[in-house]
Amino acid sequence: MKVRVLIRPKQGILDPQGKAVERALPALGFGDVTHVHVGRLVELEAEDSSRLPELCEKLLANPLIEDYEIHEI
């Protein structure tokens, strides 16, 4: 199966990348866009999806600072 893993900074942790993007938006006429967060996207193929959470916790995300979501595509 093909899988897409979304990784983003945990809520409450300062995300300077998101802030920088947000600050640039008014100059482009997108002043009404808020709460921008920048994360990572990892696509992979796996035969057995049951171990994917373990893979995410061990490598793809750092659970102390990041949340992840696993989506089948």
Residues in contact with another protein by CB under 8 A are 13-14, 16-17, 20, 40, 59-60, 62, 64-65
- In whole angstroms, the minimum distance from the beta carbon of 14 to another protein comes to 7
What is d(CA 61, CA 70) in angstroms, rounded to the nearest whole number? 11
Residues constituting the chain: 73
Min separation Cβ 42 and another protein, Å:
8
Compute the distance between CA of residue 63 and CA of residue 44 in angstroms, rounded to an integer.
19
Task: Please say which residue, 49 or 62, places its beta carbon nearer to another protein.
Answer: 62
Q: Which is nearer to another protein, 28 or 59 (CB)?
A: 59
Geometric angle at alpha carbon 32, from 7 and 4, rounded to 5°: 20
